[in-house]
Amino acid sequence: MNLPAPLADALSLALGQPASLSLLAMVAGAFIVGGLVKGLLGVGLPLVIVPLLALIIPSPKAIALMGMPILVSNLWQSIDGGHIGYAMRRFTWLLVPMVMATALTVRMTLGLPVSTLNIMVACAVLLAVALIAWQPKTAIAPAHEKRWSFIVGLLSGALGGVSTMMGPLIISYLVALRLPREQFIGSISVIYLAGAVPLFVSMIALGVMGWPEGILSALSLAPMFVGMSVGKRLRRHVSEAAFRKLLLGFLTLVAVMLLAK
C-alpha cells in the first residue's frame, strides 16, 4: 500500500529519505521503545530514541524529531514540579554555559557529514552508558558547586548539541549534589528544558527543522505516550536493576551498529 503523493512528499522531507509505511512503523516503534524505557526508569527518552532512529534515518532528522517530545515532557514536569525559581537560582552557573555550548555545538555538528554525526552520536551513547553504569558515589561540597556547575554545563551542552543526550552527565552531577527527590526531579526538568530550547531554535534557524519535521515530531507524541503507559504498568513487575543492565547492553549494541553503519 502506497502513501498519497502529497503526504509521502511531506514525510520524505521530515525523514530525510523516501517515506514508506514500513519506515513509519519503525519510527513509531522507536518512540514506543523510548517511551517504555522512560515509563520504567523515568529517564532515557533521547538516549534510546535518537540512536535507534539514526539507524534508519539521517542523524540530523533523528534529532529534529525529538523536538516536541523533549519540549512537551520537560515543560510539563517543570511546571508540575514547582521548582522553576529554585533551579534557575541555584543552577545559573550551569544553565548559562550549557545554553551557549548547545547553541554553538549544534551549529557546528549539523554542518558535518551524516556518517561523522553518526559516529558522534554513537560515542555520546557509549559515554552515557559508562556514566549510568558507573554511578559515582562522590559528593560535591557547596564550596566547589559553582566551578563544577560551569564545567558540567559546558560538557552537557556540547553533548546536547551533538545528540540531545545531555541527561546522564547532569543526572550524575545532581546525584553528587545529594538533592532531595522533589528538588532533583524539579531541577532536572528545568535544566533539560533550558538545554532543549536553544537546540531546537538553532535547528529551526538552520533549516534542519521545518513544518514537516515539527508536525511529525508532534505526531510522535502518541507512540511515545503509549510506550510510557506500558512502562509505568510494568514498573511494579520488572526489576529496575535487571532492566537497567539489559538497557545498557542494548544501547551498547545500538552504538556499535551506528559505528559500523
Each residue of 33-86: pLDDT tens digit?
998 888 887 677 888 899 999 999 998 899 889 989 888 888 887 887 788 999
More confident position, 252 or 163: 252
What pLDDT shows up at residue 31? 95
Residue by residue, DSSP assigns 172-185 as HHHHHTT--HHHHH
> In sequence order, which residues have a C-beta less than 8 Å from that of residue 53 and are 6 or more positions away?
27, 30, 61, 62, 65
What pLDDT shows up at residue 175? 81
Return d(Cα 22, Cα 191) in angstroms, integer: 36
**Whole-number mean pLDDT of the chain?**
86
What pLDDT shows up at residue 83? 83
Return d(Cα 113, Cα 109) in angstroms, integer: 9
Residues, the chain: 261
Query: Are 190 and 84 spatial neighbours (Cβ–Cβ below 8 Å)?
Result: yes
Confidence of residue 136 (pLDDT cuts 50, 70, 90): low
Q: What is the pTM of this model?
A: 0.83
Query: Are 163 and 125 spatial neighbours (Cβ–Cβ below 8 Å)?
Result: yes
Task: Kindly report, residue by residue over 118-127, the tens digit of the pLDDT.
Answer: 888 888 888 8
Sign of the dihedral defined by the CA atoms of residues 117, 199, 106, 127, in that order:
negative
pLDDT exceeds cutoff 90 at 154:
yes
The separation between the first and the last C-alpha atoms of the chain, rounded to the nearest angstrom, is 29
Instruction: Specify the range with the lowest mean pLDDT, choosing from 74-78, 143-147, 243-247.
Output: 243-247
Query: Are 250 and 51 spatial neighbours (Cβ–Cβ below 8 Å)?
Result: no
- Highest mean pLDDT out of 24-28, 43-47, 106-110: 24-28
What pLDDT shows up at residue 239? 80
More confident position, 233 or 241: 233
* Residue range 232-238: mean pLDDT, rounded: 80
- Cell, residue 99: 545554553
Q: Strand ranges (DSSP E) for 161-213?
A: none
Query: Are 171 and 43 spatial neighbours (Cβ–Cβ below 8 Å)?
Result: yes
pLDDT exceeds cutoff 90 at 95:
yes
What pLDDT shows up at residue 1? 55
